[in-house]
Amino acid sequence: MRRLRKLLIWLLLALVALPAAMTLLYRVVPPPGTPLMAIRALEGHGWQRDWVPLEQIAVPLREAVVAAEDNRFCSHWGFDLTALEEAVAEWRDGGRLRGASTISMQTAKNLFLWPGRDWLRKGLEAYLTLWVEALLPKRRILELYLNNVEFGPGIYGAEAAARAHFGRSAAELTSRQAALLAAVLPNPLERSAGRPSDFVSRQAGRIQTRMRQLGPLLACVR
């Protein structure tokens, strides 16, 4: 029993200390990669990523991903309870149960976890999101997200995506190009920003409209 107690204590300390330490490290150091990047590389997709600071990512792309993925990013504390309530209400009315994942939650998942929808991963994602929001400012969360998110097969981060799809740097992206990149995020292996389908083009148009509507809600990303 004494050994078991010690083991449980060490496990508890690891569960608390390791995420906190890694999150604090990523506050100042770019992550070398993510679990998803390693998995995709093993699947043969390659690995393109060029880390750039947030100031070298065009403001329209910062606004577009918030408009597409997490409208209340600047005001919530990691979890968008309003979006969650809306998703549950739609499901109760007979609709499909959609996710209410925030950029903070996706950042926690990208940095530390494997892809998937199992309850263990979702539980760990929620726990790690608390550390991400507690230890990182919003702009750093967005910087981590935009430098690690998947924009296509083997393409990660804003800089690699801008060059692969549009032949320019992330700092030079137009509002339309930014919206096209944001439109592929739900399914980057099937959608293309550089050769958009009619669906992706329409989604990009909706995102541009939402960018104009959100106005002051985008203040923290500008």
**DSSP letter for each residue of 113-159:** --S---HHHHHHHHHHHHHHHHHS-HHHHHHHHHHHSEEETTEESHH
* CA dist., res. 16 & res. 130, Å (int): 11
DSSP 175-212: HHHHHHHHHHTT-TTT--SSS--HHHHHHHHHHHHHHH
Among the listed residues 52, 25, 72, the one whose alpha carbon sits nearest the alpha carbon of residue 143:
52
Query: N- to C-terminal Cα distance for the chain?
Result: 55
Average pLDDT, the chain: 91
In the block, tokens 């494997």 appear at 114
* Contact criterion met (CB below 8 Å) for 188 and 151: yes
Distance CA 69, CA 98 (A): 12
Examine the pLDDT at 10 and tell me if it is beyond 80: no
Contact 187, 219 (CB under 8 A): no
User: In this predicted structure, what is the pLDDT of residue 84?
Assistant: 72
Residue 64 has what pLDDT? 98
pTM for the model = 0.91
pLDDT at 168: 98
Compute the C-alpha angle 104/160/210, nearest 5°. 50
What band does 99 get if pLDDT is binned at 50, 70 and 90? low
Q: Tens of pLDDT along 36-69?
A: 999 999 999 999 999 999 999 999 999 999 999 9
CATH number of 17-27+34-221: 1.10.3810.10
* Residue 72 confidence class, pLDDT cut points 50, 70, 90: very high
Residue 90 pLDDT exceeds 90 = no
193: phi then psi, degrees, rounded to nearest 5: -80, -35
Rounded percentage of the chain residues whose pLDDT exceeds 70: 90
* Residues whose CB is less than 8 angstroms from the CB of residue 14 and which lie 6 or more positions away in sequence, other chains included: none
CB 28 within 8 A of CB 179: no
Domain range annotation of the chain: 17-27+34-221
**Percentage of the residues of the chain whose pLDDT score is greater than 90:** 76
Which of 7-21, 147-161, 187-201 has the weakest average pLDDT? 7-21
H/E segment holding residue 26: helix 2-28
Check residue 110 and give its pLDDT: 95
Determine contact, residues 151/157, Cβ cutoff 8 Å.
yes
Q: Residue 93 — pLDDT band, cuts 50, 70, 90?
A: low
The model's pLDDT over 109-129, given as tens digits with 9 standing for 90+, comes to 999 998 887 888 889 999 999
Q: Do 182 and 64 form a contact (C-beta atoms < 8 A)? A: yes
8 A C-beta contact, residue 68 and residue 178: no
